[in-house]
Amino acid sequence: MELSKTLKYGEKLGLDELEIFVHITDVIDVEGELGEISKTNKAKETDIFVRGIADKRVGFGFTNDMRFLNDTVKKVYSSARANKKDKNWQDLPEVRKYHDIEEYDPEIEKMSVEEVIDTCQEIIDLTPEGITPAFCDARREIGEKYCINTNGIEISERGTWTAAYSYLVGKTDAGVTPGCLGIEIMRRKNLNLEKIVSSAADDVKLSKNLKKAESGLKDVIIHPYALEDLLCYTLLTSILGENVVRGKSFLKGKIGSHIFSEKLTMTDDPLYKNGVSTMKFDFEGVPAKKTFLIQDGVLKNFLWNDYWAKIGGERSTGNAYRNILKGTVETKPTNIVIEEGSDNIFDIREGYYVKGFQGAHSSNPESGEFSVVCNPGFKVENGEITGGCVFMISGNIYDLLKNIEDIGREKITGTNIISPLIRFKVHTAAK
Amino acid sequence: MEDAIKKGIELGEKLNSDYCEIRVENIDLTYISLIDGRINTLNQRTELGAAIRILKDGAWGFVSCNIEDIEKGVKDAFSLAKNSAKRRKSKIELAEVKPVQENVIKKLEKPPKIVPVGTKIERMIDLYNKFKKYDPRIKAVSISYRDGEGKRYLFTNEGTELIQDVCHVWNYCWITGKKNQLLTSARDEIGSVSRGFEYFDGEPNEEIVKRTGKRVMMQLEGKEVGKGSFECVLGPRVVGVLAHEALGHLSEADLTVNSSFDGKIGEIVATEDIKINMVDDIVPDGFGNYKYDEEGVKVKKVEIIKNSVLAGLLTNREYAKKTEMPLTGSARAEDWRSSPIIRMRNTYFEKGDFEEEELFEGIKHGYYCVDFRGGQAELNSSFQVGIQEGYEIINGEIGDPIKNTSISGMAIEALKYITGTGKKLSFENGRCGKGQEAFVSSGGPKMRFKKGAIVFG
């Protein structure tokens, strides 16, 4: 892309600094409903984000159309002039060295509409008799990112994704089982459709055998699907540098402190192979890099975008993210990776296993308090999953992560988290 | 604009589409984010795009594109539909509608587009200053503002030519409080699709600060709640979440068949001791108010539960045909990037005849839940609602505030445990996420539940 001329145009208008970030997505998505293909969708979208600074006043702009780029830069200039001076503004990110990483598979780019439809149909066909294939989806996506700024950054990358899910429901005497999800998101063309469907179908079968839950301090094994939801609204909000600077984080002043279970090591790793969020650079052109968040129970680092890092006296960790609707430059974790343990996670006489939480978003991100419904939830007896049950767990995320009993041997890829199963001691409330 | 859409429709006809629909959106949006008194984002943009949906041989093809590409989009959507149809055993059919030609005009006192951005910022800064003065324990203030104003076009090969003015204003606050080492927060969300910037004349900053500030302090000072089931009274905002999340979604016809409501039309689903009515309708200042839906169907009142019997479902044209239920005008799309799906608008329990004191009378130890922080339900009617304002009830009187709790239960069970519904209706305006964002209202009167229905955890 030849956008250096636009940078010059911005300078002529009176902007001291200018950044253009282009994000292009090309998607084919096929939806299935009640055992039939229902709709095929195609979308190609270009999102162009512009940020300009004049006399420490920041202006933002957005357009979908490259032809309107100069007009958008003009609007950014007016928006910057209308804004107040930001005394904390230093400058746009500077040039740094990038890791040589690319998650791009030409086989995904070659996937035709018919092939994605076939994938969706195969998911439907794999559903066992007696279980309703309520919803399913198959998708292929190609993405391109490009960033240029007046501080010397000019970088681009492309990526591919293919994904599929199966959402299954079973009938029971009392009504229906919880909806059970099997999902995979891959950067290469290697979806395991049998695994996607069978994991959801096995959960439906178990859920049909309804067991009674009990209240009290119990062993609860949490699957990464559920854990990522809970972490997202608690720990992963408090670990953002901007919330630390703003006094909104429980973790402020605790770097170097042993506040988690020593079994826990967690990184933010945008270089993780086949990670959903694996990338070369973030949404303001800063190189992606692995950041240790927790090491053997000790809090090591926070996550930063460039603006808040400079206020906090830190360096950006490459975690900037652009919100398309709002146009904001935010901070967001990439691939959260939890290291394996060595124990047999199901080696308990009695306990519970959770694959989904309801209401994680109603947690208190500042204090880490949560109170959620485990659905789908399962009973574990003598090391075996014996049936389904719905119950609540509540507590504080920092207490929960202190009370890790065991971490499983094998990492499981969720959507934003790659983690083994983890067994906690936590208070349950039977429904 | 209209010519480009009509050309696209003509092409859809020429290709022999069974149904061809083109929606175009042309909306000016403003988004402002104020973080601790500093403008974090000031973003003004125009959303201009086309959504093309074609039904061919009983399957859908959908394309979203720039308006210059409408003709290519029609060809693509047609080909996607044809390809999908090859794998279908049954054909998707649509309930018939009378085509509508109308220009729906919205008259606004203060259209967001003509309100200077400086005025919008001043209101937010005043709000921030008032929060900072409210209590020294308030440590961080995030305020977001959004508005949008423009037109939505819907043309179909059946002859519908509908142009609707659309507008919204929206304000969201997230307030953090700190006392010693204890951190907590509360949120406030308001907005309108019926009024312009004048909406905020009726929502003064003082009131926003008073109610949100109080909730933060209560979360700092409140008591922990006992775990288990208790007799309780739910306020209109929490009752509304129950109506929307736990019951409303089950009555969306695309979800009903996989839910606890499947096959229950005509059956008693709530207590018979008092008559329970729950509806989805247009209400004054409702956040889901529109005259027509995204398929050109006029929005209708839907009696979901009538006299404690499951009576109605929300439908779009596809599901009205499939379920043989009436059309309700419930097809909604977030924007031109999205295909319309069945959504609620303003969902609420209708008022009853209990006096305020009767609702609390005789409760020895229970809870009164006034406001929520998020809620979520599953198709088996399991629900969870985070509580951000609640109180103990001791011997029929409202007692100390409570903190850090959420309520849960099975909604189809909870309906049978209702022992009283109040006389006064009230609503909250918020957003619903069913893969796409939609503005909705929900509410009801205060409702009392006996022990066994709702678990505090």
Q: Do the strands B405-410 and B382-394 form a parallel or antiparallel pair, or are they unpaired?
A: antiparallel
Kindly report whether the peptide bond that precedes residue A376 is cis, defined as omega within 30 degrees of 0: yes
The pLDDT of residue A344 is 85
Question: Which of A45, A61, A247 has the CB atom closest to B139's CB atom?
Answer: A247
Query: Residues 123-142, chain A: which have Cβ within 8 Å of B?
Result: 132, 134
Chain A nearest-CA residue for B42: A60
Query: d(Cα B307, Cα B271) in Å, to the nearest integer?
Result: 9
> Is the Cβ pair A373, B456 closer than 8 Å?
no
Q: Are B369 and B234 in contact (CB under 8 A)?
A: yes
Decide if A248 and B139 are in contact by the 8 Å CB cutoff. yes
Task: For A172, name the nearest residue in chain B, comparing CA atoms only.
Answer: B260
Contact B227 A327 (CB under 8 A): no
Residue A266 Cα, gap to closest chain B Cα (Å): 24
Q: What is the ipTM of this complex?
A: 0.88
Q: Which residue has the tokens 């109180």?
A: B391
Percent of chain B with pLDDT over 90: 89
Q: Residue A62 has which token pair?
A: 């957005």
Considering only CA atoms, which of B395, B342, B409 is closest in space to residue B366?
Answer: B395
Chain B residue with minimum CA distance to A44: B65
Domain residue limits, chain B = 2-221, 224-456
Which value, to the nearest 10 degrees, does the dihedral of the CA atoms of residues A391, A396, A402, A403 take?
-20
Residue A172 tokens read as 């029971």
Q: Of all residues in chain B, what percent carry a pLDDT higher than 70?
A: 100
Closest Cα in chain A, distance from residue B86 (Å): 9
More confident residue, B162 or A79: B162
Q: Taking the alpha carbons of B301, B305, B311, B317 in that order, is the dihedral positive or negative?
A: positive
A81 touches chain B (CB under 8 A): no
Substitution target in A42, A56, A136, A389 with the highest count of B β-carbons within 10 Å is: A42
> Which tokens in the block code for residue B203?
């929502």
Judge: A429–B63 Cβ closer than 8 Å, yes or no.
Answer: no
Of B263, B258, B324, which is closest to residue A34 (Cα–Cα)? B258
Q: How many residues does chain A have?
A: 431
Residues in chain B closer than 8 A to A59 (CB atoms): 42
Q: What is the C-alpha to C-alpha distance for residues B456 and A427, in angstroms, rounded to an integer?
A: 12
Question: What's the pLDDT score for residue A1?
Answer: 64
- Interchain proximity B183–A250, CB inside 8 Å: yes
CA–CA separation, B17 vs A121, rounded Å? Answer: 23
Identify whether the C-beta of residue A155 lies closer than 8 Å to the C-beta of residue A119. no
Indicate the pLDDT class of residue A336, thresholds 50, 70 and 90.
Answer: very high
The answer, for A257 touching chain B at a CB cutoff of 8 Å, is: no
Separation in Å, CA of A41 to nearest CA in chain B: 5
* CA pair distance B288, B111, nearest whole angstrom: 19
Percent of chain A with pLDDT over 70: 100
- Concatenating the DSSP letter of every residue in B187-219 gives EEEEEESS--GGGGGGS-HHHHHHHHHHHHHHH
- The share of chain A scoring above pLDDT 90, in percent, equals 86
- What pLDDT, on the 0 to 100 scale, is given for residue A65? 85
Question: Measured between alpha carbons, how far apart are the two ends of chain B, in Å?
Answer: 54
C-alpha distance from residue A49 to each of A327, B63, B335, B414 (Å): 7, 23, 19, 48
CB B150 within 8 A of CB B27: yes
- From the list A43, A75, A393, the residue facing B337 with the nearest CB is A43
For residue B323, which phi and psi values (nearest 5 degrees)? -95, -5
Q: Which member of A40, A175, A325 has the closest CB to residue B380? A: A175
Looking at residue A273, its pLDDT comes to 94
**Per-residue model confidence as pLDDT tens digits over B99-130:** 999 999 999 999 999 999 999 999 999 999 99
pLDDT band at A79 (very low <50, low <70, confident <90, very high): confident
Q: What is the pLDDT of residues A200-236, one digit of tens each?
A: 999 999 999 999 999 999 999 999 999 999 999 999 9
Side-chain-side CA neighbours of A4 within 13 Å: the count stands at: 5
Single out the residue of A385, A377, A400, A375 nearest to residue A346, CA to CA: A385
The residues near A1 (Cβ < 8 Å, ≥ 6 apart) are A22, A146, A148, A156
**Which residues from chain A sit within 8 angstroms of residue B77, using beta carbons?**
42
Cβ distance A42 to B118 less than 8 Å, yes or no, reads no
Q: How far is B256 from chain A (nearest CA, A)?
A: 11
Opening angle at CA A84, ends A80 and A85, nearest 5: 90
- Whether pLDDT at A112 is above 90: yes
Of A245, A315, A266, A328, which Cα lies nearest the Cα of A287? A315
Contacts of B377 in chain A (CB under 8 A): 358
| pLDDT tens digits, one per residue of B361-378 | 999 999 999 999 888 888
CA distance A409 to chain B (A): 31
pLDDT of residue B377: 86
Q: Which of A9, A37, A1, A57 is nearest to A116 (CA)?
A: A37
Q: Which of B178, B383, B404 sits opposite A371 (nearest CB)?
A: B404
The burial of B232, by beta-carbon neighbours within 10 Å (0-12 exposed, 13-18 middle, 19 or more buried), is given as buried
What pLDDT band is residue B457 in, cutting at 50, 70 and 90? confident
Q: In chain A, which among 212-251 make CB contacts under 8 A with chain B?
A: 215, 246-250
Mean pLDDT score of chain B:
95
Cβ neighbours for A305, distance < 8 A, ≥ 6 positions apart: A241, A242, A282, A284, A286, A316, A319, A320, A321, A329, A330, A331
Which residue is closest to B53 within chain A, CA to CA?
A41
Smallest CA–CA distance from B437 into chain A, residue:
A325
Residue A150 phi/psi, 5-degree rounding, is -75, 0
Nearest to A302 by CA among A331, A262, A264, A337: A331
Residue-by-residue DSSP string for B219-254: HHHPEEPPSEE-EEEE-HHHHHHIIIIIIIGGGBHH
The CA-to-CA distance between both ends of chain A, in Å, stands at 58
Tell me the two tokens of residue A251: 């973790």
Short-list A167, A192, A161, CA closest to A182: A167
Cβ pair B406:A63 closer than 8 A:
no
How would you classify the pairing of strands B59-65 and A36-54?
A: parallel
Report yes or no: B128 and B34 within 8 Å, Cβ to Cβ: yes
Backbone angles phi, psi at A205, to 5 degrees: -60, -45
Residues of A in contact with B219 (CB under 8 A): 364
With CB atoms and an 8 Å threshold, state whether B228 touches A75.
no
Number of continuous H segments (helices) and E segments (strands) in chain B: 9, 25
* A431·B87 Cβ contact <8 A: no
- Flag whether residue A258 sits within 8 Å of chain B, measured between CB atoms: no
Q: How many CB atoms lie within 10 A of CB A52?
A: 31
Query: 0.90 cut: is pTM over it?
Result: yes
Main-chain phi, psi angles of A57, to 5 degrees: -105, 130
Question: Across B36-77, where does the E strand assignment appear?
Answer: 38-56, 59-65
What pLDDT score was predicted for residue B418? 97
Chain A partners within 8 Å of B254 (Cβ): 33
A163, A116 Cβ separation under 8 angstroms: no
**C-beta atoms of A247 and B140 within 8 A:** yes
Confidence of residue A342 (pLDDT cuts 50, 70, 90): confident
Q: Across all residues in chain A, what is the average pLDDT?
A: 94
Average pLDDT over residues A159-163: 98
The class level of CATH for A4-205 reads: alpha beta
Distance CA(A160)–CA(A279), nearest Å, equals 11
Distance from CA of B353 to the nearest CA of A (A): 30
Backbone angles phi, psi at A342, to 5 degrees: -140, 10
| A371:B457 CB<8 A | yes
Q: How far is A101 from chain B (nearest CA, A)?
A: 31
Other residues' Cβ atoms within 10 Å of the Cβ of residue B262: 17
pLDDT at B404 over 90: no
Look at residues A30, A33, A11, A29 and name the one whose alpha carbon lies nearest to residue A20: A11
Backbone angles phi, psi at B139, to 5 degrees: -105, -30
pLDDT (average), residues B52-71: 96
Q: Best mutation site among B183, B218, B238, B257 for testing chain A: the one with the most A CBs within 10 Å?
A: B183
More confident residue, A66 or B305: B305
Q: In A, residues 262-301, which contact B (CB 8 Å cutoff)? A: none
Does position A350 have pLDDT exceeding 80, yes or no?
Answer: yes
| Residue B364: predicted pLDDT | 96
Structural fold of domain B2-221: PmbA/TldD fold (3.30.2290)
| Binding-face residues of A in 384-403 toward B, CB within 8 A | 390, 392-394
State whether A42 and B63 contact (CB < 8 Å).
Answer: yes
Residue B95, token pair as written in the block: 């309930």
Chain B residues with CB under 8 Å of A355 CB are none
Beta-carbon separation of A63 and B258 below 8 A: no
Of A429, A342, A367, A417, nearest to A392 by C-alpha is A429
Concatenated DSSP letters of A204-232: HHHHHSB-----EEEEEEE-HHHHHHHHH
Do the beta carbons of residue A373 and residue B384 sit within 8 Å? yes
- pLDDT of residue A328 exceeding 70: yes
Across the range A368-374, mean pLDDT stands at 91
Neighbours of B337 (CB within 10 A): 17
Residues in chain A with CB shorter than 8 Å from the CB of B408 are: 358-359, 373, 392, 431
Chain B residues within 8 A of A88 when measuring between CB atoms: 38
A55 touches chain B (CB under 8 A): no
Residues of A in contact with B383 (CB under 8 A): 358, 373
User: CB–CB of A207/A339 below 8 Å?
Assistant: no
CB contact under 8 A, B219 and A117: no
Scanning every residue of chain A, which has its alpha carbon at the shortest distance from the alpha carbon of B374?
A: A362
SS3 call for A260: coil
Chain B CA closest to residue A79: B42
Q: What is the pLDDT of residue A175?
A: 81
